[in-house]
Amino acid sequence: MAFAGKWETETQEGYDAFCKLLGIPDDIIEKGRDYKLITEVTQEGNTFSWTQIYPTNATVTNKFTIGQESDMETIGGKKFKATVQMEGGKLSVAFPKYNHTSEISGGKLVETSKAGSVVLIRTSKKI
């Protein structure tokens, strides 16, 4: 249940390079650079609801159960199927263009997205 709660972005490392790699337009990158992304997570056993509220007021909610294929969606609205795994307290999932992991470290939500050598690390505090 460590992931459950409401989280707000504190820091982002590699934001610009990662967004450009994904093809996000410059004006959206600019809006999001200092935006405090809100992530809301509910957890019942191995079933999660993971909602992120983005700078364009877009909201994406993905519901999944660890180890089961689920319907997922990207911020760009692309729908895909993926299986979220948990190993050593880390959630991991393969998105269409990158791999994403989430973990709780030092009381913070740390999300790492990797696409080749480009890495985005977003750290959020519980609110």
**Domains in the chain, ordered, with CATH?**
5-126 (2.40.128.20)
Q: How far apart are CA 122 and CA 127, in angstroms?
A: 15
Strands 38-44, 5-13: parallel, antiparallel or unpaired by DSSP? antiparallel
Give the pLDDT of the chain (127 residues) as one tens digit per residue. 689 999 999 999 999 999 888 888 898 888 778 888 899 999 999 999 999 987 667 789 999 999 999 999 877 678 999 999 999 999 999 988 889 999 999 999 999 999 989 999 999 999 9
Q: How far apart are CA 43 and CA 4, in angstroms?
A: 6
CB 127 within 8 A of CB 109: no
CB 33 within 8 A of CB 19: no
